[in-house]
Structure 1
Amino acid sequence: MNLFKNRTVIGIICILLSLLICFGVTPLFNKTVSQKTEIVRVVKEIKAGDEITKDMVQLTEVGGYGLPENVIRQPDTVIGKYADADLSIGDYILNTKLSDTPAAENAYLYNLDGTKQAMSVTIKSFANGLSGKLQSGDIVSVIAADYKKQGATVIPAELKYVEIISVTASSGYDANTGEATTDEDERELPSTVTLLVSPEQSMVLAELEADGKLHLSLVYRGAPDNTAKFITAQQEINDALYPAEQEDAAPEQPSGVGEAEPQQTAESEVAE
């Protein structure tokens, strides 16, 4: 104890400790801080749900100290994936912000195979869209008031059984996601309905959208197997209206032809 009471000894110990810190600990710390590593960094704005492409990211060398363990370090890991959150220029990408599949509200758009198209029509009033009760997977009939300005209200043969793939609010977000809301006043009302249609059906829908006189009536909601029966019945109607051998002449035919016989045949098959 007498040794530590000697001021000279205490001074020497302090000097030795300072030298150890300066020439031992500090260089090791600086080496760790200055150590470089490569990470993937965002070079273009990426919105949630976007598919990440090669031009959106780049490999950048940065200091490795303090980086999260789950930061992405290889571009191939992110290219082709989907962003689960908005990413700004300069952000590094964490694996928790990536998804192998598109956002739920856009997933149906990635299932199109070229034989059919997704087309949206406007819900002009609350009543036109079944008072906001329509959902993805519903089978509806499109009713045209004053069809072709002939004074009659009809269901065009091409649009007797059409499948809904999305109901969208004016904000652009799907209004039928099925998520529960605590405040009913905050629930967004549908503004458009997206239908799965053939090219011929899309032509008729475009005319009705331009006229602004279409209504949607619910035909069926339920098991996918039964839904498929309605789709098959509609396909048979379309095949009768637009035979394959007349494919080249199809654009010259009236888009609103509604022969009763094909419809009756399809209806009987659905009923079975």
Structure 2
Amino acid sequence: MKILKNRIFLSILCIVLAGAISFLLLPKFYGGKSATVMVLRAAEDIPAGTKIQSKYFAEVEVGKYGLPDNIINDKNSIIGKIAKTYIAKGDYLFPQKIGNFVTDEQLDRIVKDNKRLVTVSVPSIAAGLSSHLKSGDFVTVAVFLNQKENLNTEQGTSSKVMVYPELKSLEVYSVENSRTQSTEQVREQQQADNKSPALDPVPKTVTLIVTEAQAVKLIEAEYTGKLHFIFEKRGLGDGQ
């Protein structure tokens, strides 16, 4: 008799639980699945670097269930910004794909100003301003020329330093050591590691922001003489 009662009790309990699931939980579950939300989709292919305008996207209503939390649904938050990557037609828009710059502010400025990046070698510690040079600095690049010449039929050499107008007030983009590491980052790490001798802050190459004509002159100068950097001023980005 006790077994029968227990079975009846268990059966009633199962019925109650089934009813609760059917009438309480399932409607909420399917209701959440059927909920919709307005999101933005690319109305056409958007190449990287494109400035976002309203014609490039469309508002569509889609099911809310399963959508990523960071999907963009506010058109005012992206108009005027830049596509950082290629966005295919029909793609959802995410913050990772949209930004204020294609790569970063400085590189975008270089491209916008029709400038170039050119890297030159630093022949000595002194020529690279020891370890004082950093990105954002403005420099003059002087060229040391050591030329052979005829002096009363006797061969000799003539040395001179040339400062070309085209190579004045050049902005430094980056400075690297022999391992192509940023010397600025190396110096910061040295300070954190109590000036570890394993780190090398001495510049071996300098990358400059130049016009095409300045790039040609720099390359020509590097292959005909030795370059020496003369500090002019620290850039505005460094608080000067």
For normalisation by structure 1, the TM-score amounts to: 0.51
The 5-angstrom pairing of residues 74-223 of structure 1 reads 77-78=77-78, 80-81=81-82, 94-95=94-95, 99-101=99-101, 107=106, 109-110=108-109, 114=113, 117-127=115-125, 128-146=127-145, 151-159=158-166, 161-169=168-176, 175-176=183-184, 180-181=188-189, 182-183=192-193, 185=198, 191-197=205-211, 200-209=213-222, 211=223, 213-222=225-234
Which structure has the highest strand share of the two? Answer: 2
Structure with the bigger RCO (C-alpha within 8 Å, sep 6+) is 2
Distance 1:29 1:129 in 2: 67
Q: Deviations over 1:236-270 (max 9, x none)?
A: xxxxxxxxxxxxxxxxxxxxxxxxxxxxxxxxxxx
Distance 1:109 1:133 in 2: 26
The CA deviation at 1:139 is 3.3
Question: Residues 22 and 126 (structure 1 numbering): CA distance in 2 closer, same or farther, change over 3 Å?
Answer: farther
Question: Residues 27 and 134 (structure 1 numbering): CA distance in 2 closer, same or farther, change over 3 Å?
Answer: same
Question: Residues 109 and 58 (structure 1 numbering): CA distance in 2 closer, same or farther, change over 3 Å?
Answer: closer
Given the alignment of the two structures, is residue 65 of structure 1 paired with residue 60 of structure 2, yes or no?
no
- The 8 Å contact of residues 51 and 81 in structure 1, kept in 2 or not, is answered as yes
Aligned partner of 1:118: which letter? R
The CA deviation at 1:194 is 0.9
Question: Residues 94 and 187 (structure 1 numbering): CA distance in 2 closer, same or farther, change over 3 Å?
Answer: farther
The 5-angstrom pairing of residues 47-58 of structure 1 reads 51=49
Distance 1:124 1:63 in 2: 60
- The 8 Å contact of residues 118 and 215 in structure 2, kept in 1 or not, is answered as no
Question: Residues 186 and 223 (structure 1 numbering): CA distance in 2 closer, same or farther, change over 3 Å?
Answer: closer
Distance 2:109 2:41 in 1: 26
Paired-residue identity, %: 20
Q: What does residue 20 of structure 2 align with?
A: 20
Aligned partner of 1:220: which letter? E
Question: Residues 63 and 7 (structure 1 numbering): CA distance in 2 closer, same or farther, change over 3 Å?
Answer: same
SS state at 2:188 partner: coil
Distance 2:180 2:27 in 1: 55
* Cα RMSD (Å): 5.0
For normalisation by structure 2, the TM-score amounts to: 0.56
Which structure has the highest helix share of the two? Answer: 1
SS state at 1:129 partner: coil
**Corresponding pairs, count:** 208
Distance 1:168 1:67 in 2: 44
Question: Residues 165 and 192 (structure 1 numbering): CA distance in 2 closer, same or farther, change over 3 Å?
Answer: closer
Aligned partner of 2:232: which letter? Y
Note the residue ranges of structure 2 that are not aligned, 5 or more in a row: 150-157
The CA deviation at 1:134 is 1.4
Note the residue ranges of structure 1 that are not aligned, 5 or more in a row: 225-272
The 5-angstrom pairing of residues 228-239 of structure 1 reads none
The CA deviation at 1:122 is 1.5
